Amino acid sequence: MADTGFRGPKELVKAGKWSMQGLKATYQNEASFRLEVYIFFALIPLAIWLAESSLQLMMLLGSAWMVLLVEILNSAIEAVVDLVCGDNKHELAGRAKDMGSAAVLMATLLTFATWAVVIYQNHFI
């Protein structure tokens, strides 16, 4: 039978289960992700207090959420590189891991910039 592209409730439940397994695996195996989760939850009340509009709140929380999202992708890249390369050092493996780390750094810098702009706009203008 050809795949029609239709996904019913069973497939959505399976996809949700796999997603939760991925979140659990990331949380259990990645100290950086755990730290970023703790920071994210600490930032929620601060964002609610700082934001003067729902758009600002979404910008503050969305930028912080993006760090979590990028960290999950970085962890997935690292896991695949480790699986393929094992203990063997390879220039491309190192480059892939460094690029994943750079993506997390860029997301973190975007978060700092977003928070700085909102704070500046709301409290200094």
Task: Determine which one of 52, 71, 78, 91 is catalytic.
Answer: 71
The mean pLDDT of 11-38, rounded to a whole number, is 96
Asked if the structure places residue 2 within a domain, the reply is: no
State which residues form the domain around 100: 9-123
State the CATH number of the domain containing residue 116: 1.10.287.3610
Asked if the structure places residue 3 within a domain, the reply is: no
Asked if the structure places residue 95 within a domain, the reply is: yes
Asked if the structure places residue 56 within a domain, the reply is: yes
Query: Rounded mean pLDDT of the chain?
Result: 94
First CA to last CA distance, the chain: 63
CA distance to 10, 70, 71, 84, per residue, from 15 (Å): 9, 20, 20, 25
Asked if the structure places residue 90 within a domain, the reply is: yes
As a whole number of angstroms, the distance between CA 120 and CA 125 comes to 7
Asked if the structure places residue 119 within a domain, the reply is: yes
Asked if the structure places residue 1 within a domain, the reply is: no
pLDDT tens sequence across 75-116: 999 999 999 998 888 999 999 999 999 999 999 999 999 999
Q: Based on the structure, what is the number of domains in the chain?
A: 1
Asked if the structure places residue 4 within a domain, the reply is: no
Known active-site residue 11:
no
What is the DSSP-derived secondary structure letter of residue 124?
T
User: CB within 8 A of 96, min separation 6: which ones?
Assistant: 77, 81
pLDDT tens sequence across 33-47: 999 999 999 999 999
Is the pLDDT at 3 greater than 80, yes or no? no
Torsion of CA 56, 38, 12, 9, to 10 degrees: -90
